[in-house]
Amino acid sequence: MSLPPNRFVGATRDLPPELEAARVEIEALARGYGLDFFDTVFVMCTWEEINMLAAYEGFPVRYPHWRWGMEYLRMQKSYEFGLHKIYEMVINTDPSYAYLLDNNLVVDQKLVMAHVFGHVDFFKNSVWFAPTDRKMLDEMANHASRVRRHMDRHGESEVERFIDLCLSLDNLIDPYAAHIKRHQDSARASLLDADQAPPTAETPRIQTRGYMDRHINPPEFLAQQRQLQADDAARMQRVPERPERDVLGFLVANAPLKDWQRDVLQLVREEALYFAPQGQTKIMNEGWATFWHTRMMTTDILCDHEVVDYADHHSGTVLQQPGQLNPYKMGVELFRHIERRWDRGQFGQDWLDCASDAERERWDTGAGLGKSKVFEVRETHNDVTFLDTFLTADFCREQGFFTTKRDVRTGKWVIDSREFAAVKKQLLSHVASRGTPRVYVVDANHRGRGELRLHHRHDGLDVQVKWAEQVLGNLAGLWGRAVHLETALDGEPVLLSHDGAALTQSAPDVAGADAATASQASAPAAGGAP
């Protein structure tokens, strides 16, 4: 199969013969196991190049921004000090590009290749990746040239500052947006509907005697009045119609921005959406790749003299650091657990009803469905559903999970509980939030002043006020008017408001919320007034 020409100018990047041989072997093996991946191009990189690529999140061309530089310098330093080293990196494109560090051992390169094929299979088959743009390599380059063009016209600093604003909001997207077709553009849709809907109230006409009516209120005048009435009604419609999680999308559609700003905001959102599935499937994706590299390495690939190095590096990958969740470890163990269960038929009502430990221990119907099950799981699940569906009490016990809490006296983390329900709840909330609060746009015309009101769906953790302040300030800058965030701090409902200059905290104005609802309810009446 012919691949597109190598995009990396200036160097020949053919794999050395022994690695090329390994690549061919591993690719055939992976296909043999049923993995189904895009063509995968392996590129040899020096450590500087790989650090640069990592700073650019795997893409050789990104729009100009200082934070890539910061990442790069940080990685350079930490590589120089021997603190970390990037083994592998692969991007979700078709064909997929994977980068190999040129001074890795051959056995490492083999491990990486096997691992990479797992990732690319996941990219290609997981439904969560289905909406992503597989030509992102080109798209990123397009973004770069768009941003450069804006910079040429409006100045590098100005555009860069605006990108800073956009980036500080880029986690306020709806990662499920691409999977929901229901109300993509609710604001605009509602306006259209209002236009077409027949006015509910009577058309205002100028009071006159009956015989004069058709002269004073001719049809075209009445049509104009109806139009005005409809416009009024539309204006009074609540925007957005229902809470909108895609804050960034909402801003693209509704914020008063210059064209170039809208363009930049749009591309920042596109990139955030492109990367979103990787956050949603971190455990599964790494687990899946690890699942396959271990299987291929240990059953097929390893030579005797490579075993020790392999074991060393593999154990580094799945090492469980105290106080942290290792997605590689968690994912691979859960996939293995699923495979074992379905191989032995440990599912269905009978299995659930069985209360005897001894019986469960022996349970094996010889179903042999493990392999097809793991493939199915990798296709349909994301991390949340993956854990929710397959994290069982048995698994929890086997893996020795526990919840931790801080000891009030010593300030140290101590084991709190090994109870399954508690562990699962904690794990799920950890995975579901991933550190990002769920925030919705609820009203774009708050207090009738065109101020933006957001709602944080609080689920036990408070937002960090110091950063919220800056984010709201940035948001106010974009929106052009004050912005408000309903949230709770220490159990008390709070309204954080930012008018572009400073943050104020107040008790949420229930009256204000009511007024917002009321304005919606009374829209037709208001529209009907002459």
Partner 1 sequence: MAMLNIDHDAQRFRDVIKGRVRRELRRFMSSKELIGRQGDDMVSVPIHEIGIPKLRYGKNDKQGIGQGEGEAGGDAGQPGQGQQAGDQPGEHLLEVSFSVDELAELLGEELELPRIEPKGRQESQSKRARYKGISLKGPESLRHGRRTFKQALRRNIAAGGYNPDKPSIIPIRDDRRYRHFEMESEPRSACVVLYMMDVSGSMGQAQKDIVRSEVFWIDAWLRHHYEGFEARFLIHDAAAKEVDRDTFFRTRESGGTLISSAYELAADIIAKDYPASEWNIYPFHFSDGDNATGKDNDKCVQLVRDAFLPVSNQFSYAQVDSPYGSGRFLKVMNDNFGDEEAVAVSRIADRDAIMDSIKELLGKGR
> Which one of 320, 389, 506, 517 is in contact with partner 1 (CB under 8 A)?
320
Q: Does 142 bind partner 1 (CB under 8 A)?
A: no
Q: Does 5 bind partner 1 (CB under 8 A)?
A: no
What span, in angstroms and rounded, lies between the C-alpha atoms of 44 and 375?
30
What span, in angstroms and rounded, lies between the C-alpha atoms of 152 and 64?
12
Q: How far is the CB of 482 from partner 1 (least distance, A)?
A: 17
Q: Does 338 bind partner 1 (CB under 8 A)?
A: no
Residues 36-55 that bind partner 1 (CB under 8 A): 48-49, 52, 55
Which SS3 state, helix, strand or coil, does residue 502 take?
A: coil
Q: How far is the CB of 78 from partner 1 (least distance, A)?
A: 10
Half-sphere exposure (Cβ direction) of 133: Cα atoms closer than 13 Å: 14
Closest of 480, 493, 487 to residue 442, by C-alpha: 487
Q: For residue 420, count CB atoms less than 10 angstroms from its CB and return exposed for 0-12, middle for 13-18, buried for 19 or more.
A: middle
Which SS3 state, helix, strand or coil, does residue 368 take?
A: coil
How many other CB atoms are there within 10 angstroms of residue 185's CB atom? 13
What span, in angstroms and rounded, lies between the C-alpha atoms of 156 and 148?
8
Q: How far is the CB of 351 from partner 1 (least distance, A)?
A: 25
What span, in angstroms and rounded, lies between the C-alpha atoms of 378 and 335?
9
Q: Does 436 bind partner 1 (CB under 8 A)?
A: yes
Judge contact between 68 and 112, C-beta under 8 A: no
Q: Does 246 bind partner 1 (CB under 8 A)?
A: no
Q: How far is the CB of 169 from partner 1 (least distance, A)?
A: 8
> Among residues 337 and 456, whose Cβ is nearest to partner 1?
456
Q: Does 77 bind partner 1 (CB under 8 A)?
A: yes
Q: How many residues bind partner 1 (CB under 8 A)?
A: 75
Closest of 369, 385, 298 to residue 334, by C-alpha: 385
Q: Does 401 bind partner 1 (CB under 8 A)?
A: yes
Q: How far is CA 129 from the centre of its chain?
A: 11
Residues 162-191 that bind partner 1 (CB under 8 A): 164, 167-172
Q: Does 467 bind partner 1 (CB under 8 A)?
A: yes
> Among residues 135 and 406, whose Cβ is nearest to partner 1?
406
Residues 54-73 that bind partner 1 (CB under 8 A): 55-56, 60-62, 64-70, 72-73
Residues 473-512 that bind partner 1 (CB under 8 A): 474
What tokens does 224 get? 């104009």
> Among residues 60 and 249, whose Cβ is nearest to partner 1?
60
Closest of 276, 62, 270 to residue 166, by C-alpha: 270
Q: Does 325 bind partner 1 (CB under 8 A)?
A: yes
DSSP conformation class of 298: I
Closest of 438, 436, 442, 443 to residue 458, by C-alpha: 438
> Which one of 103, 298, 470, 505 is in contact with partner 1 (CB under 8 A)?
470
What span, in angstroms and rounded, lies between the C-alpha atoms of 349 and 407?
41
- Counted residue by residue, the chain has a size of 530
Contacts of 411 (CB under 8 A, 6+ apart): none
> Among residues 64 and 480, whose Cβ is nearest to partner 1?
64
Strand partners, 43: 99
Q: Does 10 bind partner 1 (CB under 8 A)?
A: yes
Q: Does 324 bind partner 1 (CB under 8 A)?
A: yes
Taking contact as CB under 8 A, which single stretch among the options 2-10, 34-42, 88-96, 387-395 is the one that binds partner 1?
2-10
Q: How far is the CB of 466 from partner 1 (least distance, A)?
A: 7
Residues 410-429 that bind partner 1 (CB under 8 A): 412-418, 423, 426-427
> Among residues 210 and 322, whose Cβ is nearest to partner 1?
322
Q: Does 435 bind partner 1 (CB under 8 A)?
A: yes
> Among residues 18 and 398, whose Cβ is nearest to partner 1?
398
